[in-house]
Amino acid sequence: MNEINYWLHAMTPLHVGAGRGLGYIDMPIVREKVTTWPYVPGSSIKGVIAEHFGASDNDERMKDAQLKAAFGTSGSDNDSAAGALVFTDANILCLPVRSFYGTFAWVASPFCLKRAGINISLPNFPKESDAFITNDSVLTGHEGKIYLEDLDINTQKINEAGRIADDIAESLFDNEEWKKIFAERFAVVSDDLFTFLCESGTEVNAHIRINSRTGIVEPGALWYEESLPVETILTGRIWCDKVFADGVTPEDLFERFCGKNLTLQIGGKASTGKGLVRCIFGRRL
């Protein structure tokens, strides 16, 4: 199968909404049913990339064999066709969490690393509330603990954490300084602790609506909106189904549409600068 990895690196808060919420958050982000971890739907990513290349105009698709093959066509039943490029959901890989030392930590867990296809050989956690960090970590404070949000967490510095951090950084950053910054702030916690941080460590902002006539807040017009914070890292895969267009190969589609890294806007609140991400395409698998 023709397949590649891709990564999303949030440069501004990212809100891909799940509609109206049932709890105190009126506009929550989408989450996986089983893990409750945040994700970005593959349909959202494919739609934004299609728009980036001008494929949202169906007439343009019909004129361009590669656009048509990659993203399909819409219309009547006889005219519509699915695109050959298939985008999986972008699953969370590293959640940025406030840290008392080092400003923030990029936090991952064993399961989300394995699901991303990253080879790991981590020892078992001595306790579920412990973490593995790199030898050059800047996150530790008193007694070698790290302090994430309101949690104080015992740590172990191990070489394997450094290797994993280097592997991820190599895919995400071209700049050596940023690779170093990432490794210094990388931490692996247990899956259970990661779930707790995914529930409590997202960004929640209060919003109000102003009456255009009076210039004051509308009565009852207060709502809370959830976003993935800046520096969130997600990952997924893209593969190419059978291409029916004559003279178009999967290699053509990967080279044109997944050959260069992109800057995209995903999700809501584009007019306020939300949802700006780097989309990084990886190696063929």
- Degrees, nearest 5: CA angle 88-110-150: 105
* pLDDT for the residue 285: 41
10-33 mean pLDDT: 84
Q: Give residue-wise pLDDT tens across range 63-122.
A: 888 998 898 876 555 566 778 999 999 999 999 999 999 999 999 999 999 999 999 999
111/34 Cα distance (integer angstroms) = 13
Q: Which residues pair with 208 in a beta bridge?
A: 222
- pTM beyond 0.95: the answer is no
Are the beta carbons of 23 and 33 closer than 8 angstroms? no
Residue 238 — very low, low, confident or very high, per pLDDT cuts 50/70/90? very high
Instruction: State the chain's mean pLDDT as an integer.
Output: 89
DSSP string covering 225-242, please? EEEBPTT-EEEEEEEE--
Cα–Cα distance for residue pair 111/163, rounded to 1 Å: 17
Quickly count helices (H) and strands (E) in the chain. 8, 17
Tell which residue, 72, 88, 92, has the closest CA to residue 80.
Answer: 72
Output 76 or 245, whichever has higher pLDDT: 245
The one-letter amino acid code at 161 reads A
